[in-house]
Amino acid sequence: MKNKIYLLILALMIIQSCKSDINNEALDKQKTIEIISQLLLDENLNRTNCILEKPIWKLKESPSDFESYIKENLNIKDTAFINFQIKLTHKFVFTKELNPDKEIITKDDFNNFSKTFEMDNFKYLDWLKEHHCEYGFISISKPIFNETYNLAIVHIEQICGPLCGFKNTRIYEFKDLKWMKNTSLNQSIY
């Protein structure tokens, strides 16, 4: 009888855990849409009408360095939560749901762009024009949130020409019903 009770308790814990992940995914999706929608209103990001489907974010050499970086900057204590956030980051793709006005550059198109850029720094301007991205394109990572969803780290890049663009990793804080830039962790302008 005791074994059946233990099995029942274990089954209930597993079911509750699954529900928790589903609820977290729904909340995470809501908060992701919220912050990206707000970021796309920024005049610097609104100049271009193209965005990468799969964001570029090469932050650290190893997954453990990346995890430590995120934990430290967002004060995340729960290892399971950081793993959940990183899993969602790997699955993230930019869709029309996030912004129907942006042209989405697929992974294959971006690979072709990269090859064109390697061959000739200026030839890729023709590629941008052919793909209706005359003002370049942006890449916005999926925000990685802390446990209370009031802090988020986002990596943003804009590529608009051989000597034009930037990349920036920022921490945003949710205050007064909107996301406000709290800190800029690293910034490069080219």
Q: Give the model confidence (pLDDT) of 127-136 as tens digits.
A: 888 888 888 8
Which pLDDT belongs to residue 74?
A: 92
H-run or E-run covering 61: none
Which pLDDT belongs to residue 113?
A: 80
Nearest to 60 by CA among 150, 155, 140: 155
Instruction: Confirm if 172 and 35 have CB atoms less than 8 A apart.
Output: yes
Query: Where does residue 81 rank: exposed (0-12), middle (13-18), buried (19+ CB within 10 A)?
Result: middle
7-57, pLDDT tens digit by residue? 445 444 554 544 444 458 999 999 999 999 999 888 678 888 899 999 987
Measure the CA–CA gap between 170 and 47, rounded to whole angstroms: 20
Q: What backbone torsions phi and psi does residue 80 show, to the nearest 5 degrees?
A: -65, -40
pLDDT of 144 higher than 60: yes
Nearest to 117 by CA among 104, 103, 136: 136
Amino acid identity, position 12: L
Which pLDDT belongs to residue 146?
A: 96
Instruction: Confirm if 142 and 32 have CB atoms less than 8 A apart.
Output: yes
